[in-house]
Structure 1
Amino acid sequence: MSNKNNQHMFRLALLLGLFSTLGPFTIDMYLPAFPEIVKQFDTTASLVQLSLTACLLGLGIGQIVMGSLSDVYGRRNPLLISMAVYVAASLACAFSPNIGLLIAFRFVQGFAASAGIVISRAIARDMYSGTELTKFFSLLLLVGNLGPLVAPVTGSGILSFTTWIGVFIALAVLGIYLLAMTKWSLQETLPSDRRRPSNFVEQLRNYGLLLRDRQFVGYMLAQGIMIAGVFAYVSGTPFIYQNIYGASPTVFALLFGSNGISLIIGSQVVGRMSHRVSEHAFLLFGLWLACLASVAVLVVAIVHGPLFALVIPLFFFVASIGITSTA
């Protein structure tokens, strides 16, 4: 591959990687502000955590819907509309008068952000195949994995000079930038002759076939359990670190962001050793690592251990996520 093609691949991976990080930024950037949001709305920690649940639901449902729409209408137009909705939803979150509306707008925000995740991968498959696609996905994964590392630190930095409202305004600015890049720098990669007509019944039939596949269901349940653990970790640590251990938003962001390193390590280990170790073996190792780390976290919680004793097993738990999600 020529240097010119390599440069084009790198620039495209950087742009699509930014779309991939929209999910982590939308999830993680406001985590240091959880205690502040509780006080602002005079509400409970559970309801603030529900705003995170709503965002995750939006991200999950949105990827199914937006993936199908991008196959029917192309990549660019659904992405343009989604980024515009993302900007509007981010501003609506910033100026929500109560926790109920914040939860509702977080769902919309997550739904819109999902387009960046699923369509960026679809664009990659449109443009590359074989070894070039593998190389491109490794670049995309490298950029995308920076999101969990950078997002909480960025959110903490914003909170050092403004309130949680500033976090959502910053997300709106990020959405405006991605909207502009989609408008002026991203070309349509799925021509009309390659688009598939919408067939909702056929999609339901395909989902039914998948659910009758015992191996698929087994892997899906394993991954679902891991994701449940991630949700408990993401939604619980802001309060545990700051309210129980007295960490500042900056310290929380640094501790939370450092686990992004373990996520990158886990995924890169799988990528580097995939030719030596089977995917099934990696999956089993990741699940065992998650179990051991979870037991260690439980022991620390029961004996009320120090903060560092909690951070260490959580580091390995997040590494197991990188392993299982890549395997």
Structure 2
Amino acid sequence: MNKKIVSYLMFAMITLAVSTTDIYVPAMPEMTRYFDTTVALVGLTITTMLIGMAFGTLVWGVFSDTYGRRPVLIISLIIYSLISLLIACSPNIYCVIILRFFQGVITSVFAIVCRLVLNDFLEGQELFRAMNLLNLGLVLSPAIAPVIGAQLSTWFDWRANFTFSCVGGVIMLLLLLKYVKETNKNKKEKLPPLLIWFGDYFKVIRHTHYSINNIMIMANYAIYFAFITISSFIYVTDLNFSPTLFALMLLFASGSYFLGSYYAKFIKSRYENRKYIDIMLVADLITLAGAFLLLINCFSHYYWVQVILISLALGLTRFGFGLMFTPGQMRALEFFPDKSGFALGACFFLMFLSGSFGAAWVSCFHRNHMLGLAVVVTTLTLMLIFLHYLDRRWLKMLRKIALIKK
């Protein structure tokens, strides 16, 4: 089995999965008019998907440990394609919301199992580069998917976006059947009992540094999805951008993420002893600068000043997210090398749950989108800075205890 082909195929699956969120973002105002509904209900299509993804992450890692990575991916791609087609045929917004939950449950397979596939046969710097490649799916999806979605919505309507996802799922299925073999060589004989299952998750979550690290990832992911949820209404509705021009702004944001992700890879390859938490601190300080620009924007009434400030804030927060995301995941895995499935599952469960929280919170500010974004991003960023202080303080305390015992 070719390592490069498998790595790029896992990357393509992650990109497809994330595009399920991004591809129809330019069409969200159109969906509001089409279904004659509210911004909050259309925003709920993102929230419910993320909730589904959150709960899905708790089971797919364990399922793939028992039944294998390949069968789980095959079944998931089939169901993913069918659900995407059903969403395209939905008669009302409530059907879309319900189906998006189940689509989220299935999409979470790719977030977990694709990483476990690489974790099965890669290690060290090779694994870090492969993980970074998977996270670049978060770059290409916001960069390419909204551009494709804007064109599909212009030439057809919002339904074409989900038809596109259905076709993408079928293509991924055919490639998987041809190029990927089973990578899990140590399958479990059966699923663990429910109490043991959740007991293992509890053991993972109660680890102090692991939990603080997860909350940092959660806050960043909530900021990320707050931007995704409200950005189309800010740019298209408030600032009168065309869907195509808005898609280009998302391309700029994706470029910022790419730079952050590349810089994280550069730091780790050049300074191998540099701790992941140090990279995460720099990233969160950059995100804080973006939050500061959003606050300034709330006091501006000039059109071009608002465009510049919001776009700069979008670029800074996305750069910070790209810089911290891979180090945050790698740090989570470091705490539990023998329970990587549980560690990654709990991490992504909390991450997707926080994404749904960020999307729901910012949707509450339907009368003032810019103010809502500023409040959400600033609050979460200040919490991030406090968590860094708490993490370092706790680490110093543990070192003192270790010295006393010696």
Q: TM-score, normalised by structure 2?
A: 0.75
Alpha-carbon spacing, 1:271–1:51, altered in 2? closer, same or farther (3 Å): same
- Provide, for residues 194-232 of structure 1, a one-character-per-residue CA deviation record: whole Å limited to 9, x for no partner: 336311322312222233222222222222122211121
Partner of residue 301 from structure 1, selected from 281, 287, 298:
298
The Cα shift of 1:117 comes to 2.3
**Aligned partner of 2:38: which letter?**
T
Alpha-carbon spacing, 1:244–1:26, altered in 2? closer, same or farther (3 Å): same
The equivalent of 1:123 in structure 2 is 117
The equivalent of 2:232 in structure 1 is 238
**For structure 1, which segment, 215-224 or 73-82, has the greater mean C-alpha deviation from structure 2 after superposition?**
215-224
The equivalent of 1:197 in structure 2 is 190
CA contact (8 A) 1:32 1:253 kept: yes
1:325 and 2:325 equivalent? yes
- Provide, for residues 41-72 of structure 1, a one-character-per-residue CA deviation record: whole Å limited to 9, x for no partner: 00000000000111112222222221111111
Alpha-carbon spacing, 1:318–1:143, altered in 2? closer, same or farther (3 Å): closer
- Provide, for residues 226-266 of structure 1, a one-character-per-residue CA deviation record: whole Å limited to 9, x for no partner: 22111211100011100000001001111012211111111
Partner of residue 52 from structure 2, selected from 58, 75, 84:
58
The equivalent of 1:253 in structure 2 is 247
Q: Which runs of 5+ in 1 are unaligned?
A: none
CA contact (8 A) 1:87 1:173 kept: yes
Q: Which runs of 5+ in 2 are unaligned?
A: 328-406
Aligned counterparts, 1:1-327, within 5 A: 8-142=2-136, 145-191=139-185, 193-195=186-188, 197-199=190-192, 200-274=194-268, 275-276=270-271, 277-304=274-301, 305-327=305-327
**Aligned partner of 1:169: which letter?**
T
- Provide, for residues 128-149 of structure 1, a one-character-per-residue CA deviation record: whole Å limited to 9, x for no partner: 2334433433444445632222
Alpha-carbon spacing, 1:135–1:318, altered in 2? closer, same or farther (3 Å): closer
Alpha-carbon spacing, 1:131–1:286, altered in 2? closer, same or farther (3 Å): closer
**For structure 1, which segment, 203-212 or 86-95, has the greater mean C-alpha deviation from structure 2 after superposition?**
203-212
The Cα shift of 1:10 comes to 2.4
For these two proteins, the number of residue pairs brought into alignment is 320
**For structure 1, which segment, 262-271 or 296-305, has the greater mean C-alpha deviation from structure 2 after superposition?**
296-305
**For structure 1, which segment, 180-189 or 317-326, has the greater mean C-alpha deviation from structure 2 after superposition?**
180-189
Provide the C-alpha distance between the structure 2 equivalents of 1:208 and 1:140, rounded to a whole number of angstroms: 27
Provide the C-alpha distance between the structure 2 equivalents of 1:260 and 1:15, rounded to a whole number of angstroms: 20
**For structure 1, which segment, 26-35 or 171-180, has the greater mean C-alpha deviation from structure 2 after superposition?**
171-180
The Cα shift of 1:75 comes to 0.9
Provide the C-alpha distance between the structure 1 equivalents of 2:323 and 2:266, rounded to a whole number of angstroms: 12
Alpha-carbon spacing, 1:213–1:190, altered in 2? closer, same or farther (3 Å): closer
CA contact (8 A) 1:18 1:144 kept: no
The Cα shift of 1:126 comes to 1.9
**Aligned partner of 1:84: which letter?**
I
CA contact (8 A) 2:135 2:326 kept: no
**Aligned partner of 2:292: which letter?**
V
CA contact (8 A) 2:142 2:254 kept: yes
The secondary structure found in structure 2 opposite 1:194 is coil
**Aligned partner of 1:306: which letter?**
Q
CA contact (8 A) 1:75 1:119 kept: yes
Provide the C-alpha distance between the structure 1 equivalents of 2:138 and 2:230, rounded to a whole number of angstroms: 23
**Aligned partner of 2:310: which letter?**
L
The Cα shift of 1:184 comes to 3.1
**Aligned partner of 1:75: which letter?**
R
The Cα shift of 1:159 comes to 1.6
**Aligned partner of 2:276: which letter?**
E
Q: TM-score, normalised by structure 1?
A: 0.92
**For structure 1, which segment, 297-306 or 165-174, has the greater mean C-alpha deviation from structure 2 after superposition?**
297-306
Alpha-carbon spacing, 1:44–1:317, altered in 2? closer, same or farther (3 Å): same
